[in-house]
Amino acid sequence: MNFLTPLYALAALAIAAPILFHLVRKRPKDRQVFSSLMFLEPAAPRLTQQSRVDHWLLLALRVAAIAMLAVAFSRPYWNIASLAEAPTLGLRRVFLLDCSASMRRDGMMEQAKSKIKDLIEQSRITDTIAVYAFDQSLRPLLPIEEATQVLPSQRQLLAVDSLKKAALTWNRTDLGLALVQATDALHAQISSIDEGGAGSGEIVIVTDLQSGMTLDALANYAWPPNTRVRIERIESGTPGNANATLLNATSSQEPETMSADSNQVRVRVSNSPKSNANEFQLSWRNAKDEIVGTESRASVPSGSNAVTAMPAPSAEALYLKLIGDSTDFDNKYYVATQQSSSCSVLVMEPKSREREDSLGYFVAQIPLSTPTRIVHVETREPDSEAQWPSPSTTPWIIVASELKDRDLTGLSAYLEQGGSVLWVMDQSISEDAGFTSEDYQKAFADIAGTAVAVTEAKSKDYSMLQRIDFRHPVFADLADARFNDFTKIRFWSHRTLLPSESSLWKILASFDDGSPALLSKEKGKGLLWVLAAGWQPNQSQLALSSKFVPIVSNLFRIAAHDVQDANTYYVGDEVIWDDQERIVDPMGKTMQSVVNGDTISEKNTSEDVNRKMNRCPLSEPGIYQRWREDKMVQTFAVNLNESESLVLPADSECLERLGVNMADLNSPERAMQKQRQLQAIELEAQQGWWRWLVIGVLGLAGTESAVCIIRSRSK
């Protein structure tokens, strides 16, 4: 017999108590009060041998009850021999291999793989071993679901073999996310296999544990108690590191700042605290790694940053190179030179309109220009004889209600060529204003090529927007709870649209009477938006609302095929392009759209957006190209995330502070002991002897009470 909690057996010592009580001279039970004891003398209590003998049965019952209770609390179980023979439950062990850019130093990746290999070989045959690689995401090399299916004898071989699939990346390190995902995978296995959660898991992280890693995902994560984490740190021989970053790269390319006296750019050089180097050379390099222009020098003490000026890069320069530190994985900073351009937004409305009734006046107030593109807002009279602009120079036309036949023909052709049109139906349907439903319906038929029934909405006071599609890029910026209150935008009048073929239209927002407010439709290569009300103050509060600027800006960005700034991409970011575009990576290959890590042959479509969007993560630094219809429209630079340059080893306590259950590294015996204890718990729970013992105690207590009652009655 063994005991799960043998210390409770010490409670058996309590049997001394009833023995003592029975041995102690019996004091009279009868107690009486008396007026005064002044005439009395104390007499010794009587004790007869007979009374002791009489209570032997009671004494035996009491002693037996206490002894049984002590044994019950000690949780006895039998048959330890069979337990030893039984196959022991293995530990579920997950290895996380850091494959981030910082592991490119000094063959650290080889060290890490070697370390994992050793650890795998040290594992017991019963352990389940899973291997994952991580950087800013978690990638399975041997997922735990697969590892549990493998025979114990093959587990170690398979795990070691899976390490060959691990490859270094240029991504940043998000250890928090990797831990959370690995723990969830591990915990799902523990929960599904071990009923009652008796099993336990261990996550072994093989990493450089750099200070630039991200742990945010752990902040709100409830760490499971039966999963512990071990960190196997890979040390670098050269702890110091420096990197250079170009500051305000975009603005330096602006014509205004490219004047003779400011033909310089600012470069920030960061030197890590334990670096041995203080002097660095900075130079612009071309594709052949040749110096372009002159070399600059920067003196930065270890543990500090310095901003230094150097000549602006020429068109030939691809990247900024830093020389002088011991690690070179982050010494290149790619820069994409951008050409400034200009485009126009055309507003078609009668020039006779007053300023506050004008659509163009409010659009002109919006800062649509960017450092690399100047946007002009032009106004044009309807039914003008002037030539229609090209979508390449004027990507967006805003038209008011007053459209003549010539305008309708021109707009239709403009849309077919790939332009974007926003039709603002800012005139009420009434005989006085000269607008009838038929006029609008004819315009719809001509521009959109589909019939839409138009009537004037009958609202008592005002209408508001509802059912706004915040997933659409037009409203996506306003989706946050702080900004998504549209109830302050009131529309005094609007038109009710009833498309005959509603499937062709995408409704982005509706009025509270259910009729569409903003809807869009593809026409040829172009895109038509229809706003069923005006934004002028006499029509609605839209133009005066704080939401007007982001909505119109977003419409313009979609119309102008606007893309992200060329120098704001980092490795790991996603690049997005539409069907008419393609992205060429630094190696000259066209990138394929990737969803959830899988390349798909067919172009990815996003139902939320009219235009079909493709996306792919940027896997390495360099200069990428964006092509549209055999014309390169943009080059953009992708750089290493700055946090990867922070290679100073972090304290492993940072994980403990976030609630991670850290394992004691030096106690495999303790783990074994814990394992044995878990097995004992399981066996004891199956046998459940303590329940029978407690029942026995209750029986003895009942018998003792009965004996006492019988004795007292017989007296």
Partner 1 sequence: MKQPFARTEPMERHASKFGIESKLKSADSWIDMSALMRIKDMQLRAKSVVDGFHNGLHRSPLHGFSVEFSEYRPFSEGDDPRSIDWKLYARSDRFYIKKFEDETNRRCYIVVDQSKSMEYRSIEYSKMDYARTLSATLAYYLTLQRDAVGVLTFEQDVTEFLAARYRPGQMKRILSLLEKSTQGTSTDLRKPLAHLAEIVRHRSLILIVSDFLVPPESLREPLSFLRARHHEIMLLRVCDPCEITLSLKNPAMLTDVETGQEMHIDPEKARERYQQKFRQHESELVQMCAQLGISWTSLVSTDSVEHALFDLLYRQQGGKKRESRR
Q: Which residues bind to partner 1, rule: CB under 8 A?
A: 27-28, 30-46
Compare residues 40 and 315 and give the one whose CB is closer to partner 1. Answer: 40
Shortest distance, position 41 Cβ to partner 1, whole Å? 6
Shortest distance, position 27 Cβ to partner 1, whole Å? 7
Burial (Cβ within 10 Å: 0-12, 13-18, ≥19) of residue 476 = middle
Residue with tokens 């600012």: 266
Measured CA distances, 359 to 200, 353, 426, 552 (Å): 67, 9, 9, 12
Q: Where are the beta strands (DSSP E) in 442-579?
A: 452-456, 463-466, 490-491, 495-499, 506-511, 516-523, 526-531, 569-570, 574-578
Compare residues 46 and 525 and give the one whose CB is closer to partner 1. Answer: 46
What tokens appear for 46 in the block?
């009587």
Distance CA 345, CA 397 (A): 6
Shortest distance, position 40 Cβ to partner 1, whole Å? 6
User: How many Cβ atoms are within 10 Å of 340's Cβ, its own excluded?
Assistant: 14
Residue 536: strand, helix, or coil: coil
Compare residues 42 and 196 and give the one whose CB is closer to partner 1. Answer: 42
Q: Where are the beta strands (DSSP E) in 300-411?
A: 305-311, 319-323, 332-334, 341-348, 373-380, 396-399
| Mode of pairing for the β-strands spanning 201-207 and 92-98 | parallel
**Residues 474/486, Cβ–Cβ less than 8 Å:** no
Shortest distance, position 713 Cβ to partner 1, whole Å? 17
Distance CA 35, CA 55 (A): 35
Nearest 10 degrees: Cα torsion 550, 553, 555, 559? -160
Q: Which of 463, 345, 359 is nearest to 403 (CA)?
A: 359
User: How many Cβ atoms are within 10 Å of 608's Cβ, its own excluded?
Assistant: 13
Compare residues 46 and 488 and give the one whose CB is closer to partner 1. Answer: 46
Shortest distance, position 54 Cβ to partner 1, whole Å? 17
**Residues 407/382, Cβ–Cβ less than 8 Å:** yes
Compare residues 33 and 386 and give the one whose CB is closer to partner 1. Answer: 33
CA 428 to chain centre: 48
Residue 597: strand, helix, or coil: coil
Compare residues 631 and 713 and give the one whose CB is closer to partner 1. Answer: 713
Distance CA 636, CA 639 (A): 10
Distance CA 236, CA 326 (A): 11
Neighbour-count burial for 180-198, b at 16+ CB within 10 Å, e otherwise: bbbbebbbebbeeebeeee
Shortest distance, position 712 Cβ to partner 1, whole Å? 15
Q: Which of 222, 263, 556, 252 is nearest to 419 (CA)?
A: 556
Phi, psi of 575 (to 5 degrees): -105, 140
Q: Which of 146, 142, 211, 215 is nearest to 178 (CA)?
A: 215
Shortest distance, position 48 Cβ to partner 1, whole Å? 12
Shortest distance, position 711 Cβ to partner 1, whole Å? 17
Compare residues 39 and 602 and give the one whose CB is closer to partner 1. Answer: 39
Shortest distance, position 34 Cβ to partner 1, whole Å? 4
Q: What is the DSSP letter of 370?
A: B
CA 284 to chain centre: 36
Compare residues 27 and 404 and give the one whose CB is closer to partner 1. Answer: 27
Compare residues 29 and 355 and give the one whose CB is closer to partner 1. Answer: 29
Phi-psi region of 576 (alpha: psi -120 to 50; beta: other; left: phi over 0): beta
Compare residues 41 and 195 and give the one whose CB is closer to partner 1. Answer: 41
Q: Which of 483, 479, 485, 481 is nearest to 464 (CA)?
A: 485
Shortest distance, position 24 Cβ to partner 1, whole Å? 14
Helical H runs in 336-387? Answer: 359-364
Shortest distance, position 51 Cβ to partner 1, whole Å? 13
Shortest distance, position 25 Cβ to partner 1, whole Å? 11
Q: What is the DSSP letter of 213?
A: -
Shortest distance, position 32 Cβ to partner 1, whole Å? 5
Distance CA 539, CA 518 (A): 15
Shortest distance, position 46 Cβ to partner 1, whole Å? 6
Compare residues 36 and 387 and give the one whose CB is closer to partner 1. Answer: 36
Compare residues 37 and 222 and give the one whose CB is closer to partner 1. Answer: 37
Compare residues 46 and 351 and give the one whose CB is closer to partner 1. Answer: 46
Compare residues 38 and 222 and give the one whose CB is closer to partner 1. Answer: 38
